[in-house]
């Protein structure tokens, strides 16, 4: 007799339900939720540290930090005077909607316009889990090589925005921007691309400005819907 255990579908189905609750909660409170993903060390926290200065001028912003262990990233963010909630997964390679829902309980929703989630450094698992986000951003860094886009297609296909970070290191790597653009055009033609050096703070203001526009546009649309 063959016994088959279906694990994946119920786990993801339950995740979808919680993601819907998060989406509803954020809509009700006019909060824009961004899920930031990349491989370990691509520069997610550095980008956030640099972008928060621009974002916080216009938007009330908080950060949810996902890591397997330590509060290091949340500590880096809160050192900039921004509220940060640290989630430790104790081994799990991605954040799921239930974890994010728990982190949201620690924040004062009426005081926020934007919540940035830094997912666990991993190009595989985080792509599978809907967090109820408005926007998915994937970071790629010039030191990782061009093959990541085609080797991890789900991550790059399902995000709306790509940030190529560490462009200051381009002269020292074999990374090709042209090849990257070509691969993305095949996989995800509508994807917005930003070229950034988080370390040198190049391109960070442009990226932050784009987020600010998206948050304000979403809030205006929500207000219009409420009036009609």
Ligand X SMILES: Nc1nc2c(ncn2[C@@H]2O[C@H](COP(=O)(O)OP(=O)(O)OP(=O)(O)O)[C@@H](O)[C@H]2O)c(=O)[nH]1
User: Which listed residue (43, 126, 132, 203) binds ligand X by CB under 6 A?
Assistant: 43
**HEC-encoded secondary structure of 14-83:** HHHHHHHHHHHHHHHCCCEEEEEECCCCCCHHHHHHHHHHHHHHHCCEEEEEEECCCCHHHHHHHCCCCE
Q: Which stretch binds Mg ion (CB under 5 A): 28-36, 68-76, 177-185, 211-219?
A: 68-76
State the binding partner of 80 from Mg ion, ligand X, none, CB within 5 to 8 A by kind.
none
Q: Which residue is nearest to ligand X (CB)?
A: 121
DSSP for residue 180? H
119 lines the binding site for Mg ion (CB under 5 A): no
Shorter beta-carbon distance to ligand X: residue 134 or 144: 144
Count residues contacting ligand X (CB under 6 A)?
17
Strand pairing of 114-118 and 32-37?
Answer: parallel
94 lines the binding site for Mg ion (CB under 5 A): no
136 lines the binding site for Mg ion (CB under 5 A): no
46 lines the binding site for ligand X (CB under 6 A): yes
What lies within 8 Å, CB to CB, of 30 at 6+ separation is 113, 219, 222
What is the closest distance, in whole angstroms, from the C-beta atom of residue 60 to Mg ion in the complex? 22
State the binding partner of 96 from Mg ion, ligand X, none, CB within 5 to 8 A by kind.
none
Coil, helix or strand for 194?
A: strand
Reported as type and span, the H/E element at residue 161 is strand 161-165
Residue 34 and residue 211 in contact, taking contact as beta carbons nearer than 8 Å:
yes
**Residues 190-209 close enough to bind ligand X by CB under 6 A:** 197-199
Residues that bind ligand X (CB under 6 A): 38, 40-46, 73, 121, 165-166, 168-169, 197-199
């Amino acid at each position: 007799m063959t016994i088959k255990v279906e694990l994946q579908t119920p786990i993801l189905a339950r995740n979808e339900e919680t993601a819907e609750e998060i989406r509803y909660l954020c809509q009700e409170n006019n909060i824009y939720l961004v899920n930031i993903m990349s491989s370990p060390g691509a520069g997610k926290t550095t980008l956030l540290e640099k972008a928060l200065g621009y974002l916080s001028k216009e938007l009330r912003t908080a950060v949810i930090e996902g890591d397997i262990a330590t509060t290091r990233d949340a500590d880096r963010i809160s050192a900039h005077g921004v509220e940060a909630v640290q989630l430790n997964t104790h081994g799990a390679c991605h954040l799921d909607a239930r974890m994010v829902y728990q982190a949201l309980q620690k924040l004062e929703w009426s005081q926020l316009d934007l919540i940035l989630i830094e997912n666990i450094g991993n190009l595989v698992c985080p792509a599978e889990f809907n967090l109820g986000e408005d926007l998915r951003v994937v970071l790629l860094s010039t030191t990782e090589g061009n093959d990541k886009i085609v080797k991890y297609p789900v991550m790059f296909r399902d995000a709306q925005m790509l940030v190529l970070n560490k462009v200051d290191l381009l002269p020292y790597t074999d990374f090709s921007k042209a090849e990257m653009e070509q691969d993305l055009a095949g996989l995800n033609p509508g994807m917005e691309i930003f070229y950034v050096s988080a370390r040198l703070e190049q391109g960070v203001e442009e990226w932050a400005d784009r987020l600010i526009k998206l948050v304000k546009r979403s809030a205006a649309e929500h207000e219009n819907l409420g009036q009609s």
